[in-house]
């Protein structure tokens, strides 16, 4: 259970980096956005299956808030450093939010 929880949290953080990377490489923000939506959907489904709705909604909120926060942060510290910071925040926050104290599905 802990390994799967860590994997899903890492997937959420990496999705932010991969989505940004895809947008940078292709020059197409829409394609990067599609990567973000797919990654968020996969993580959301995995969280919902293991801990229920509330921790899932909280973790998804962190994911999308991190995405939004990366834009003004990038103006301060640069694009890739901002992605690294919000990715790390997403990993840690989602791991904590889906932890043992989260409502476990029967």
Residue 102 lies in a domain: no
pLDDT tens by residue, 11-67: 999 999 999 999 999 999 999 999 999 999 999 999 999 999 999 999 999 999 999
Per-residue confidence (pLDDT) for residue 100, from 0 to 100: 77
pLDDT at 105 over 80: no
Mean pLDDT, to the nearest integer, of 77-92?
Answer: 98
Residue 37 lies in a domain: yes
CB 67 within 8 A of CB 16: yes
Residue 103 lies in a domain: no
Per-residue confidence (pLDDT) for residue 8, from 0 to 100: 96
Residue 105 lies in a domain: no
What is the domain range of residue 14? Answer: 2-97
**pTM score above 0.85:** yes
At residue 103 the predicted structure's pLDDT band, cuts being 50, 70 and 90, is low
Residue 39 lies in a domain: yes
Question: Cα dist. 70→1, 48, 74 in Å?
Answer: 30, 25, 6
Per-residue confidence (pLDDT) for residue 104, from 0 to 100: 55
Per-residue confidence (pLDDT) for residue 102, from 0 to 100: 59
DSSP state of 101: T
The structural domain count of the chain equals 1
């Amino acid at each position: 259970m802990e390994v799967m929880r860590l994997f899903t949290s890492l997937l959420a953080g990496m999705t932010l980096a991969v989505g940004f990377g895809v947008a940078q490489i292709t020059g197409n923000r829409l394609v990067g956005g599609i990567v973000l939506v797919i990654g968020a959907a996969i993580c959301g489904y995995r969280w919902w299956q293991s801990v229920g709705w509330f921790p899932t909604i909280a973790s998804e909120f962190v994911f999308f808030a991190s995405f939004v926060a990366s834009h003004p942060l990038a103006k301060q510290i640069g694009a890739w450093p901002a992605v690294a910071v919000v990715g790390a925040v997403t990993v840690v926050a989602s791991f904590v939010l889906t932890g043992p104290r989260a409502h476990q599905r029967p």
